[in-house]
Structure 1
Amino acid sequence: MKLFATRVWGMGFERIPIATFGMKGHVDRLLRLARRGDRVVFVGTQTDRTDEENRGKILGMAEIGFEPLKTLDLVGRADLDDRDFDAAGNFKFPHAVALTRAWRFEPAPLLIRTLSRQLAMVATSGVQEVEGPSDVAAILALQTIEIDLPTLPSLEAMRRMNDALRNTTGPRPGDAGYMVNPSTDGEAWTYGLQFGKRDVWKIGWATDVDVRCIEINQHIPVELGLEQWGVVLRQRMNSRNAAYDMEQRVLELLTSKRRGYERVHCSQKEIDSAWQQAFVDVIRGK
């Protein structure tokens, strides 16, 4: 899990479930560096915009939605501070990402007593990755209380999507997961198999992924010391048609990487990107 730190004015992230930025480039950079399940850590500024008791403290953290947003499309001016508008009435922080889950630290520790170094200036206007393993461990060891974020209808679908995509590497068919549309012919799974540790993948769908993997491996002469297929990605869908549609969308996105049947040759990063995009496209009916 990666952590990214940003400076904020107090506990506003508890009241409005978005993180705002003045430049689109800061949002683009965050979404380029982060993956599902990574978190943004909020640190109180040393300015009078932050309550004195919270200045310089690590206040909380949140998982984010993976879509750039416009702040004023989500909240009205009445919910914002007048100091966030310039003399011409322009909002200073028009770009945002959603907070899909959030936690406050109690007690909130001082940054300088928790991390090995201060944050760079980039954390004031954008985000800075917390790179040291000991610093990441120190933050994750802090006592947390999950925040019941305010509900914004426009963000609810994104929250469900984030929850679904956070865990694409292991739930068995009986576990909870994201369900796509009302069931028509029984749930099924889209799967991604990896051949050994190679960048070779097989994409398909099945009602039981583990049984399907066993069946596929029966055609490999393992007595020759050859590698086998292993399940790396799986996503539950609540109809076979939806599972098939996601399989086909993954293969379509990786057309240039296909080598035969449902096999593709590409990096882990490329397969992850296509997998997530295919899921998004299917649930949006594209």
Structure 2
Amino acid sequence: MTLYLTKTWGFSSPSGPLQFSTNGWRTNARNALKSGDMVLIVGTKGSETDEDEQGRILGLMEPTKHVVSSLDYDLIRGPQDLDAAGNYKWPFGLELIRAWRFDDPRPLLTDLTSRRFNMDSAQGIVPLEPSEEASILALPRSEVGLLSAIAARARVEGADVARRKAAPPPTTARTGIMHMRRAPAFTYAMEIQGAKQPAIKIGWAFDWAQRERGFNHAAMPAIGGLRYKTRLHQLFPTARDAFRMEQWILKRFDHRRHANNVEIVTPLTLAELQSAWTDYLVMARREAR
């Protein structure tokens, strides 16, 4: 594993892609990166970076070689991020597998190394020395979520609108029979409140909120029945992807699946669910490289 460094104007959570100003700088990074390599994010010392982040170690990214456009992500952009023509300055990206934010108090880069970094560290990525790597990787950090292109659209327009816009048009032709499997869909995890033991319903749906309403209509919690409460949901580009995650999580807890409904896992705590959920998403991003 090699740890690289790049300087930016900040680090957001959830994190967008690793960004570059030109395709050339992105290509250089893509050619250098190997599986498992990570990139350290350091705040620049310029006024564009918040004063309390200038020169400090901010975050850590594990990028893929998958090329993306930064414009497809719901990134926070200010006037300083646009050129004179109104174009975003860092439109070239590499998708991430994982990202972390360093815990406060975040040290200055100069506290960990006396090496001076040139302009290429602000445009591209620069490899660190083994001693520098060790000092940085020893710092406490917390994992943050990742933006995806379809998730970004969902944040702006609403998940249902994003799903519908990305879905292929319906068709009655024989070649279109499978079109719904290619439509965006969710994997969901619903806590079953009122059960004798902690229980979670795992499934997939084109609209998790509608599915939750349907379950509660049948369960009638208002008169003492069970209540279904969605705790996690993940939007995928296709229903096949959502189904795959559902099946992976159910298999993970196969020995705890309820005899009368194999999509209900009990006993299962929310902490156990979150751990499995994160494990799957990390695995899926690694496979997508």
TM-score (norm 2): 0.49
